[in-house]
Amino acid sequence: MALKILDTCINCDMCDPECPNQAISLGEEIYEINPELCTECVGHYDNPTCVSVCPIDCIITDPKRVESEDALADKFVAIHGHQIFSKT
């Protein structure tokens, strides 16, 4: 599942530097997450760092982009070209 930033985002700039996949960028009005790059931090961390640092809890699982953990792990490998963790 890719994550999504809601329109309640206050552009605090906390999430963008925390994303290990560089999936977050400033859109026309608020920060946005590129679903093709978002792995919910699978392959990097136990939990999505953007969610952890968001001061107003405006980052949610995108209901239009439901992906299994295996699919997220495969996306991580496609993005980074290697596997640094094992899928279990």
pTM for this one?
Answer: 0.85
pLDDT in tens, 59-69: 999 999 989 99
pLDDT in tens, 6-38: 999 999 999 999 999 999 999 999 999 999 999
Question: Domain segments of the chain: what residues?
Answer: 3-80
φ/ψ of 9, rounded to 5, equals -55, 135
Long-range contacts of 22-29 (CB under 8 A, 24+ apart): 24/50
Fold of 3-80: Alpha-Beta Plaits (3.30.70)
User: DSSP label at 18?
Assistant: G
Q: What is the dihedral sign for C-alpha 46, 51, 57, 59?
A: negative
